[in-house]
């Protein structure tokens, strides 16, 4: 299937040649520069730091995509406009305070719109250069969120798309998949804009409603104390049966002192209490030849012995 795509297919041509979409693309680069500049401002960067962060955030995803595709000159360097917009955005944050609530909302809306556009452009471009479906979708998502990841890594923090932040990567993934469907099914090129809108709408709703994907801790399986007891008992029973089958002997169980009876009689509040009781540190016996034993032998006798001695003298 990948070989049937050609550079200049309808959706890709629409995305990279339409004047309105071209302006949106450059505006997205500017907005990413502004957002990165706001971060640089909070970290008290100098002008060089603002410039580096702005370029990395605004152009990083597209640069990674074009380098993987083996394009001679990445689109970000094919003309002055992309670099100028990234630097202009960072310079704007350097000169103007961008910490107001209204400004953050505006930047979020424009950032989400640019994210959807970049995901569609990256996917269509990757398909046009002969990549198969999954790599093309991956590069589409990379085009959309790669700049933000590079920005976060440069400032030494966990990338926002790794958890706890808006569903930018999920929205980009949805746009990339829908863009692939438009290209693969030969649908009219303007339908790719619906793919952009659907992914951006999902990311926007997630930012508004504060939706997040389930984190690792929410998927962990925990066991209560009774469940842990049953598991240990079943394991012990299976081990005894295995030994009996292999050796031909019947294990003798003392019902008054067997560990299974101890488990049934114990009143563990939770799994931690059960673990503390089962895996308690064993009492270390002192050998007569050890220094500790010698020291204990030299300790003075107890009060009872002293009383007995004094009684004898009397």
| pTM exceeds 0.85, yes or no | no
Q: State pLDDT tens for residues 182-216.
A: 999 999 988 999 999 999 999 999 999 988 888 77
Give pairs for 303-308: CB < 8 Å, separation 24+. Answer: none
* CB 83, CB 77: distance < 8 Å: yes
Q: Say yes or no to pLDDT of 107 above 60.
A: yes
Q: State pLDDT tens for residues 1-31.
A: 444 444 444 787 888 788 888 888 899 999 9
* CB 85, CB 60: distance < 8 Å: no
**Residue 59's closest CA among 89, 97, 39?**
89
The domain limits of the chain are: 2-216, 221-287
| Cα separation, 116 vs 144, whole angstroms | 7
Of 51-60, 98-107, 140-149, 291-300, least confident by mean pLDDT is: 291-300
Q: Is the dihedral of CA 256, 260, 261, 267 positive or negative?
A: positive
Residue with tokens 């002969």: 130
- If you count them, how many residues does the chain have? 314
Planar angle of CA 55, 172, 89, nearest 5 degrees: 25
């Amino acid at each position: 299937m990948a070989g049937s795509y050609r550079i200049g297919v309808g959706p890709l041509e629409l995305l990279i040649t339409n004047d309105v979409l071209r302006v949106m693309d450059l505006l997205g680069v500017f907005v990413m520069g502004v957002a990165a500049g706001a971060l640089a401002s909070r970290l008290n960067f100098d002008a060089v730091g603002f410039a580096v962060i702005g370029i990395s955030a605004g152009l990083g995803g597209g640069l990674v995509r074009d380098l993987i595709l083996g394009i001679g000159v990445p689109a970000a360097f094919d003309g002055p406009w992309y670099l100028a917009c990234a630097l202009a955005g960072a310079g704007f944050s350097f000169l103007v305070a961008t910490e107001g609530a209204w400004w953050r909302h505006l930047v979020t809306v424009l950032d989400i719109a640019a994210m959807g556009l970049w995901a569609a452009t990256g996917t269509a471009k990757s398909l046009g250069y002969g990549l198969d479906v999954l790599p093309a979708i991956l590069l589409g998502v990379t085009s959309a969120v790669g700049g933000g990841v590079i920005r976060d890594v440069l400032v030494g923090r966990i990338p926002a798309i790794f958890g706890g932040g808006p569903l930018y990567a999920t929205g980009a993934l949805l746009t990339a998949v829908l863009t692939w469907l438009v290209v693969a099914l030969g649908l009219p090129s303007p339908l790719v804009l619906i793919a952009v809108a659907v992914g951006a709408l999902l990311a926007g709703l997630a930012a508004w409603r504060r939706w997040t994907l389930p984190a690792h801790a929410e998927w962990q399986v925990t066991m209560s104390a009774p469940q842990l007891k049953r598991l240990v008992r079943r394991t012990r029973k299976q081990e005894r049966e295995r030994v009996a089958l292999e050796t031909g002997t019947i294990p003798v169980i003392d019902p008054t002192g067997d560990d299974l009876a101890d488990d049934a009689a114990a009143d563990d509040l939770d799994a931690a209490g059960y673990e503390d009781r089962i895996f308690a540190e064993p009492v270390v016996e002192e050998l007569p030849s050890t220094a500790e034993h010698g020291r204990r032998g030299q300790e003075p006798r107890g009060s009872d012995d002293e009383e007995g001695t004094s009684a004898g003298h009397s």
